[in-house]
């Protein structure tokens, strides 16, 4: 049984990054860094997921 496992809703993470880029006018890498801190996921995992979805 996994007690500390959290499921990540990637749609929320991607939408958060897109909002930072569009509304806050952040650079994509800066937005990824902020999402990494907010959601507790490494930047490389976020970049990989964005590439998989064709968003990066």
CA torsion 30→33→34→37, rounded to 10°? Answer: -170
d(CA 22, CA 39): 19
d(CA 40, CA 45): 11
In whole numbers, what is the pLDDT of the chain averaged over residues? 90
Q: Which of 5-9, 11-15, 43-47 has the lowest mean pLDDT?
A: 5-9
Half-sphere exposure of 25 (CA within 13 A, CB side): 0
pTM: 0.83
Q: Specify the pLDDT at position 7.
A: 81
Q: Specify the pLDDT at position 42.
A: 94
d(CA 40, CA 24): 21
């Amino acid at each position: 049984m996994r007690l500390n496992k959290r499921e990540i809703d990637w749609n929320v993470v991607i939408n958060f990054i897109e909002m930072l880029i569009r509304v806050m006018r952040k650079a994509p890498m800066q937005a990824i860094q902020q999402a990494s801190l907010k959601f507790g996921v490494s930047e490389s995992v976020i970049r990989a997921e964005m590439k998989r979805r064709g968003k990066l």
